[in-house]
Amino acid sequence: MSEVFEFLPVSKEDMESRGWWYYDFLVVTGDAYVDHPSFGTAVIGRVLEAEGYRVAILAQPDWHSADAFRAMGKPRYGVMIGSGNLDSMVAHYTAARKRRSEDFYSPGKKMGLRPDHAVIVYANRAREAFPDTPIIIGGLEASLRRFAHYDYWEDKVRRSALADSGADILTYGMGEYATREIARRLKNGEKAENITDVRGTAIMCTSPADCAYEYVELPSFEEVCRDKLSYAIATRTEYAEHDPVRGRALIQPHDKRYLVVNPPAMPLTTKELDFVAELPYTRNYHPMYEAEGGVPAIEEVRFSVIHNRGCFGGCNFCALAFHQGRMVTSRSHESVIKEVTELTKLPDFKGYINDVGGPTANFRRPSCQKQLKVGMCAEKRCLAPTPCPNLDADHADYLELLRKLRNIPGVKKIFVRSGIRYDYMLQDKNGEFFAELVKYHISGQLKVAPEHCIDSVLDYMGKPHIDVYERFMEKYRRLNDRYSKEQYLVPYLMSSHPGSTLQDAVALAEYLNSLGRQPEQVQDFYPTPGTISTCMYYTGIDPTTLEEVYVARSFHEKAMQRALLQWKRPDKRKLVIEALKEAGREDLIGFTPNCLVRPDYSPAKRKPKAADKDGDKPKKPAAKKAEEKPEPKKPVSKKGWAKAKPKKNARPNKGKKK
């Protein structure tokens, strides 16, 4: 078999070369075809192949007509459609709604190879090409848009992606269980309209009686469009019922039909995760992209390993909990060791495993034993604002895995680069993992996400309070000193999250200045579909409490909040001064070390100089007195918060605002 046959077929010629005169499923994706377990299209394709089906891949088809969908002929059983690893609108637009210039999931970073709202467009073209063939949409975009949802780019509430796509079934979550079950039943001759009871799927029907499970009815599409409180109530219910153990089906009326979202599928077991991870991926992009420079997205994951799924971190701005779920499952040590061993045999392997992680790297076990029997708590969080008393914080299994991986021949270094929950680490009374993380698994800097310093804002984010980060930072510093390491913390910070006022942004800038650190990583809040924070942004209501929350909506205020976190940048100076004046904090405009910027003495702002008595020349300014010269600032580390010692009482406005 030639090299191209290691990939699933992508053309009629590929199929003919294999001796195929038919195929079973067409898998459509908005990404370039990358056959790697980090790419959902590859996983679904290989899972179907492992079940004995003939699978063809249609990557980034021309959507302007149905011709590209017809090119390989009609599949026997169905068309599976996803937009790729990102929501297509996120792939296309920035938080400022500006068109991106590059797409790392396309060959040569080329933009424009997928449409906006890709699952809807692809599904409509597939229906045009194959009117009688079952169409199933899935992946991240379909998953997060399964209910009526606010679309930030159109600034309106849209119907479920299932309703707009005209597809027969929507799968949400990771999809392996639902995909296998749907494929089996289609192969057995069951019609798509009769496949209504598969967990992890959604359907459209004419009556609530068509729901196969106990259900809760949500406010209708029309109600959530008309009334923002109804939208917030719907969001709260959607999250409360998103549990595979105790969750009920949800029904949301759409026009004259009903959207039925069945309960989530159970997470894959360790054995099932191992099976999916060990399918015969080529771990590369298809050779057809070589002439265009390949697909850049592979570089971040080429020598990385995913060891877990799910996240009980509960960040309100993150879509992971609503997609993968909050129950954490993990692969066996043997499976991860096998994958790393295979990586060492690749010709371009240099001895470094870039990451052994996942949604949250240091989660390898359920958050508590209770959830295994009764599911995750509907109204409580495991970690924020304070850790649950039932939290089972234990890194022993992850630590043992990392120790085994370090001893594999050919491996020089194992890095942990996925996000870690530092609050979870601090709950582990055994400090071995923290110590060995610092000693062996950091590539010069550790990325963590405190996000903000004001506790009320952190509560809206679903993050721990800033004193937790400070304790982590101090312990990290001590461990680096113990092992004579010069390693730094790189903090992720977010501006303009719902609940953050201009005064809060100023307080965060003061806090950073007191630490002698201006962050390199600043993210303006991005209202992506399906998150709790996006609900807050659209409605001005916190769906967990149904109380009002402040929202920075104008691009100008959002720009000011972001500029305050980058106050040293010359191009942000004007915005910083404007923001400080608007916030009533002109005391931070000056020459003392606590000031963020110097006064604006640009010609446009300068007052005319007074003329001399004869009216000929303006007077020369008097020489500055020596005592008026500002004191030079003491040098501070520019590499990380952990190296800069905060001043006493340097954290202004800490705590909840009264």
Only one residue has tokens 């980058």, namely 566
Residues 6+ apart with CB under 8 A from 190: none
Cα–Cα distance measured from residue 422 to residue 398, given in angstroms and rounded to the nearest whole number: 15
Residues 6+ apart with CB under 8 A from 549: 460, 498, 499, 536, 540, 541, 542
Q: How confident is the model at residue 166 (pLDDT cuts 50, 70, 90)?
A: very high
Residue 260 lies in a domain: no
Helical H segments across 199-253, by residue range = 221-226, 228-240
Q: Under a CB-based contact definition with an 8 Å cutoff, are residues 63 and 29 in contact?
A: no
In the chain, how long is the greatest CA-to-CA distance? 103
Least confident range of 231-240, 498-507, 520-529, 649-658? 649-658
State the average pLDDT over residues 284-312: 96
pLDDT for the residue 516: 86
Enclosing H/E stretch for 511: helix 502-514
CA distances from 388 to 321, 345, 550 (A): 18, 44, 28
Structurally, the chain folds into a number of domains equal to: 2
Task: Return the number of other C-beta atoms located less than 10 Å from residue 464's C-beta.
Answer: 26
CATH at 121: 3.40.50.280
Which of these, 518, 470, 478, lies nearest to 654 by C-alpha position? 470
pLDDT for the residue 602: 58
Only one residue has tokens 């196969």, namely 212
Give per-residue pLDDT as tens, 392-414.
999 999 999 999 999 999 999 99
Last residue of a domain, one of 201, 225, 248: 201
Peptide bond preceding 529: is omega within 30 degrees of 0, i.e. cis?
no
Q: Does position 192 have pLDDT exceeding 50, yes or no?
A: yes
Residues 6+ apart with CB under 8 A from 216: 237, 241, 248, 249, 250, 251
Last residue of a domain, one of 201, 225, 240: 201
Pair of tokens at residue 565: 């976190």
Pair of tokens at residue 401: 């895995």
pLDDT for the residue 600: 75
State the average pLDDT over residues 454-460: 97
Last residue of a domain, one of 201, 225, 249: 201
Residue 386 lies in a domain: no
Residues 6+ apart with CB under 8 A from 119: 81, 82, 83, 88, 137, 139, 141, 142, 145, 161, 165, 167
Burial class (CB in 10 A: 0-12, 13-18, 19+), 70: middle
Q: Under a CB-based contact definition with an 8 Å cutoff, are residues 6 and 57 in contact?
A: no
State the average pLDDT over residues 146-168: 97
pLDDT for the residue 630: 41
Give per-residue pLDDT as tens, 426-445.
999 999 999 999 999 998 99
Mean pLDDT of the chain: 91
β-strand 488-495 against 521-524: which pairing, if any?
parallel
Give per-residue pLDDT as tens, 47-94.
999 999 999 999 999 999 999 999 999 999 999 999 999 999 999 999
- Secondary structure (DSSP) of 523-576: EE----TT-HHHHHHHHSEETTTTEE-----SHHHHHHHHHHTTTT-GGGHHHH
Residue 72 lies in a domain: yes
Q: Does position 511 have pLDDT exceeding 80, yes or no?
A: yes
pLDDT for the residue 644: 39
CA distances from 239 to 77, 216, 520, 532, 540 (A): 33, 12, 33, 8, 18
State the average pLDDT over residues 489-495: 93
Residues 6+ apart with CB under 8 A from 360: 308, 311, 313, 418, 419, 420, 421, 424
Residue 406 lies in a domain: no
State the average pLDDT over residues 108-112: 96
Residue 601 lies in a domain: yes
State the average pLDDT over residues 134-155: 98
Burial class (CB in 10 A: 0-12, 13-18, 19+), 52: exposed
Residue 326 lies in a domain: no
pLDDT for the residue 104: 97
pLDDT for the residue 90: 96
pLDDT for the residue 608: 52
pLDDT for the residue 175: 94
Residue type, 244: P
Residue 597 lies in a domain: yes
Q: Under a CB-based contact definition with an 8 Å cutoff, are residues 91 and 103 in contact?
A: yes
State the average pLDDT over residues 596-620: 57
Q: Under a CB-based contact definition with an 8 Å cutoff, are residues 255 and 164 in contact?
A: no
CA distances from 598 to 474, 515, 570, 581, 602 (A): 32, 19, 11, 13, 11
Residues 6+ apart with CB under 8 A from 583: 502, 503, 505, 506
State which residues form the domain around 131. 3-201
State the average pLDDT over residues 527-542: 97
Q: Under a CB-based contact definition with an 8 Å cutoff, are residues 238 and 247 in contact?
A: no
Q: How confident is the model at residue 642 (pLDDT cuts 50, 70, 90)?
A: very low
Residue 552 lies in a domain: yes
Residue type, 195: I
pLDDT for the residue 517: 81
Q: Under a CB-based contact definition with an 8 Å cutoff, are residues 392 and 369 in contact?
A: yes
Q: Does position 649 have pLDDT exceeding 90, yes or no?
A: no
pTM for this entry: 0.89
Q: What backbone torsions phi and psi does residue 644 show, to the nearest 5 degrees?
A: -105, 125
Cα–Cα distance measured from residue 468 to residue 459, given in angstroms and rounded to the nearest whole number: 13
Give per-residue pLDDT as tens, 543-581.
999 999 999 999 999 999 999 999 999 999 999 999 999
Which of these, 313, 197, 180, lies nearest to 260 by C-alpha position? 197
Q: What backbone torsions phi and psi does residue 283 show, to the nearest 5 degrees?
A: 60, 35
Alpha-carbon torsion (506, 512, 518, 524), positive or negative: negative
pLDDT for the residue 615: 42
Cα–Cα distance measured from residue 451 to residue 453, given in angstroms and rounded to the nearest whole number: 7
CA distances from 602 to 379, 398, 569, 597, 619 (A): 54, 57, 16, 13, 19
Burial class (CB in 10 A: 0-12, 13-18, 19+), 550: middle
pLDDT for the residue 389: 93
State the average pLDDT over residues 448-460: 96
Which of these, 557, 544, 537, 535, lies nearest to 497 by C-alpha position? 537
Helix, strand counts (H, E) of the chain: 23, 24
